[in-house]
Amino acid sequence: MMRGMLADNKNLSRLEVFKVDVLKVVLTIVYALVSLVLIVVVLGQESKSEGLSGSVSGMAETYWGKNKGRSMEGTLERITKILAVVFFLFSIVLNII
């Protein structure tokens, strides 16, 4: 779509059109890698639904809840949030280009 719009504009050279095409390919590859890493990180997290056993043993989890930021689970949650923001930004940028 954008190639057609750029090609119609007489002020842009073929080199500029080529640069935009290369940029779009590079961004698409990075976008695919971010999405794959996001999938792996989400699947690596523990389930939040603990069922009845979670409500009974909830008191024992308070210590681990305090140190959640330093644990592997806290790190995975932080990485998930960052990757989700990057994923949405890439979605917007690729839609505009």
Burial bucket for residue 11 (CB in 10 Å: 0-12, 13-18, 19+): exposed
Tens-place pLDDT, residues 48-73: 766 555 555 555 555 555 565 678 88
- Prediction pTM value: 0.65
Q: Which residue has the tokens 């390919």?
A: 25
Per-residue pLDDT at 92 exceeds 70:
yes
pLDDT tens-digit map of 4-53: 554 455 667 888 888 888 999 999 999 999 999 999 999 988 887 665 55
